[in-house]
Structure 1
């Protein structure tokens, strides 16, 4: 009788689970089905918690939120055909946002792949354009190899999404292969000293240097290095939406705000006036280079984990490729203190004054709706440093991205790559699982909320310590705002009312309806005392939205931006 090897597994599904456990996975999210039920069955006997979601897209969103917050890939699982294809938006979002995710999709038996049979679909080809890695396990001996590589691709370099297809029969076949989770990914190290010296020389000779922070700058280790760089050089800093929290409170006087979508912010002014721009962890998908780099008058130093993808408006003269955090620290040491440019200092002061004035003077023109900045003022009183804020996509997220400051890395989760609606609540669930003892606030518009609102029941089931705020105007307002600017009217944007407080109660959560600016603060105070999910419904007055797209000159500011 042949003795089984020490790493023998009963079947392919169990070997996949062994690999997930060895990779430190504590939760998986998804929906079972006939082609993948063997994997769900194997999970029952593991230490991994299986969270059944109400939609596969949201399973991918939650896994992506975990990936962004922890740096380790979150895992989502779905059955074959439409189960796996429902991952598409979630994985495309994660790949654009730099969030590590591993999605596992069931598939028909190997012999049926080319047949017109129930739920057959070439999901590997489907996911290749929107992931870093997409592969099918065609034999049990390849299970550990494929899973290990999927994690490596998802978590290394510029993080993103991986997809693995698991045919039904492979999951049930005997599997005898080692687990490969103990192979550490090699460290890249900082950029070479000669390139760092070249960049430092360029900065020392610059008259008006500015830093543009991107999504990888908000990783905790990189954010610490960014703070060292800003403190030692004194250079002004601008961030994309995804870079929120990279600048600490003590350095707020060097912060010129966030940029994205419309080129009309003080941060855009800083970039326009700069003769040298240092991009740190920046991905062009966050904010198109042609919007902020309007001409070739400025030189670009790019610091990233990968070489830049060249664009007519993004051609760095120096590239520092390597581990970003030590590279930024090395550049700070080599550069030293830089002289402050009066032109840039004036813009920084203008930003602080304009932000303070806007928040102080915001008033609604409606008797039963609240101005966006009145809500921002109230949120400032509640969003403490230990609280995570997860934003969906809509006009509201522009108001919040521009005016609500944060000073902790990855404190605010924003989508500006795919600009995906529906991410707010699933990301909130992810943040609640990462820090179950701390309050999480997620925010969406009424349009975006209904794209993932079914997961409120999941949040209730998980006892998430979550406050979800819905800004209500009964329209896809961000689309409407841009349509009105282009055509003078909106089209295809209106929908009917929903009583979100009653909806919340139907899911087992607490619901609160707000009808005034004063009511926002009270609702937040009441929600803070509730254990479990709370939904706060707030009618919002968006009559000032046109200001979001106006050039600064039309707002009474001097601006070189157009």
Structure 2
């Protein structure tokens, strides 16, 4: 550890970065050191910030992004130069696509070597610019506070995302006596203009079958509260993209048509198809391609967001309410008042609920010792109270969970639905546990996704993360498999060998459990809830009904093809 500087002695740029992080309220940083960034890690040793050493830089970025999604404040990942920084790319792309505030700080060779072919030289600022909202290099110590503060503002402002700051090795050690600038509150947007809100209200009142589509930004706590009040007072039908999970309260279930995305075959899709006006709230087209759900391009769309829409042939809003989402929705609620629910939409909502009930009643595995996906979902549901946070990795299992598992707290479920990134489940679970260490976290992955981040199970053990991680096992990259089978009638390059995940967990210091029945899963979940520290539960899953995930609604419910 380096010696603390004497009082009044000029800090170096590395120490000034740390002071900016502290002023911004950063409690943890995640990453792996190296020669080009070690001066910053040394400065962190003398700070109030806890450094969490991870086993892979990608996981450091995932944890930081997960922390950002849960808290609304940018999580921080730090990596050394060259491949250390390039390993942050997927985490930054995920954060930017999915509106998760995070800041990545990367080492770099000295300024004199930046354009040379020397050890670990890499133009990381240019490399990361396409996947961030802000990418800059601290070219001299005087710019330290400016760049760190602006990176935080970019990461947390508007529609949040990733920011990157490159720190040349020689700059980190130079004196930097500038003031700390980070820590200012992010400027808040007020409501959209009053005349535009009135225009939207007139359109809603004139519509006979309006439907609300919730996107990623609708699930922040303040936005979700405003959305619930809007849905309650107006009586409109509402559906959500996957990342809007938790935005609708339990009392509004009769108006909720489910979560939609990926495949256009849900009752929520039927609602959107029948609607004569759609209100999108906090929606990003990356969540669910508008050409899949907006087939009636002549009907009006009202878009409520913090930034103007990126226009698309299938997404060209007739009214745009740009401003603070919660304030805008609250004012729109007052302007609109109660609306009369359309009988056609009510019938679709009733069909959605009856179909969900039937799906659970009929779910049975066809293989001895394996569980049907809905048997797992049904077993999990009783454990999902308000104090439990769920973090889902990417795979066909996450479609089953997104469609059938209920949650009623904003940001209670973390789902990757922009980049649909594999490997996020465990790192996000670790982030959730750091935010609320006394509350249980349940993270879920397939056996393919788990092995993309499983090296940091040891980090979870070190942190005493209070989480249960479920691994759905079928020995395939199943999300890819079902799409290949649909397109080509066979699959290719999706199979891999077995791993004893319970034994793997125990080798990392976690508790490892195996189940082979609904009863043993219930017992394992109860044991996991009573255990402090990480628990891994290995679940063999029978995916024989996965074809239903992509089947047209007509095949599932006997509806006309036009409604599918």
Q: TM-score, normalized by length of structure 2?
A: 0.98
Task: Give 1:311's aligned residue.
Answer: 312
2:256 corresponds to 1:294: no
How far 1:561 sits from its partner (Å)? 3.6
2:528 corresponds to 1:527: yes
CA gap 1:220/1:284 in 2 versus in 1, 3 angstroms: same
CA gap 1:169/1:538 in 2 versus in 1, 3 angstroms: same
- Distance between the aligned counterparts of 1:47 and 1:169, measured in 2? 25
- Distance between the aligned counterparts of 1:444 and 1:181, measured in 2? 36
Task: Give 2:483's aligned residue.
Answer: 482
2:540 corresponds to 1:539: yes
Task: Give 1:262's aligned residue.
Answer: 263
Q: Give the secondary-structure state (helix, strand or coil) at the position aligned to 2:286.
A: helix
Task: Give 1:246's aligned residue.
Answer: 247
Residue correspondence of structure 1 range 37-52 to structure 2 within 5 A: 37-52=38-53
| Stretch moving more, 377-386 or 64-73 | 377-386
Deviations 1:517-553 (A, max 9, x none): 2211111011111110000000000000000001111
Residue correspondence of structure 1 range 143-222 to structure 2 within 5 A: 143-222=144-223
Deviations 1:232-264 (A, max 9, x none): 100000000000000000111110000000000
Q: Give the secondary-structure state (helix, strand or coil) at the position aligned to 2:31.
A: strand
- Distance between the aligned counterparts of 2:8 and 2:285, measured in 1? 44
How far 1:515 sits from its partner (Å)? 1.0
- Distance between the aligned counterparts of 2:367 and 2:183, measured in 1? 60
**Unpaired segments ≥5 residues, structure 1:** none
Asked if the contact 2:219–2:246 (Cα under 8 Å) also holds between the matched residues in 1, the reply is yes
- Distance between the aligned counterparts of 1:252 and 1:407, measured in 2? 10
Q: Give the secondary-structure state (helix, strand or coil) at the position aligned to 1:285.
A: coil
Residue correspondence of structure 1 range 485-500 to structure 2 within 5 A: 485-500=486-501
Task: Give 2:505's aligned residue.
Answer: 504
Task: Give 1:271's aligned residue.
Answer: 272
Q: Give the secondary-structure state (helix, strand or coil) at the position aligned to 1:138.
A: coil
- Distance between the aligned counterparts of 2:104 and 2:498, measured in 1? 35
Q: Give the secondary-structure state (helix, strand or coil) at the position aligned to 2:544.
A: coil
Task: Give 1:513's aligned residue.
Answer: 514
2:353 corresponds to 1:352: yes
Q: Give the secondary-structure state (helix, strand or coil) at the position aligned to 2:390.
A: strand
- Distance between the aligned counterparts of 1:5 and 1:268, measured in 2? 64
**Unpaired segments ≥5 residues, structure 2:** none
- Distance between the aligned counterparts of 1:291 and 1:231, measured in 2? 28
- Distance between the aligned counterparts of 1:332 and 1:360, measured in 2? 38
Asked if the contact 2:471–2:537 (Cα under 8 Å) also holds between the matched residues in 1, the reply is yes
How far 1:181 sits from its partner (Å)? 2.1
How far 1:381 sits from its partner (Å)? 1.1
Task: Give 1:100's aligned residue.
Answer: 101
- Distance between the aligned counterparts of 1:8 and 1:551, measured in 2? 69
Residue correspondence of structure 1 range 223-242 to structure 2 within 5 A: 223-242=224-243
Task: Give 2:110's aligned residue.
Answer: 109
Deviations 1:7-35 (A, max 9, x none): 87421100000000000000000000000
User: RMSD across aligned C-alpha pairs, in angstroms?
Assistant: 1.2
Task: Give 1:142's aligned residue.
Answer: 143
- Distance between the aligned counterparts of 1:557 and 1:410, measured in 2? 35
Deviations 1:405-438 (A, max 9, x none): 1100000000010000000000000000000001
How far 1:176 sits from its partner (Å)? 1.1
- Distance between the aligned counterparts of 2:7 and 2:301, measured in 1? 54
Q: TM-score, normalized by length of structure 1?
A: 0.98
Task: Give 1:73's aligned residue.
Answer: 74
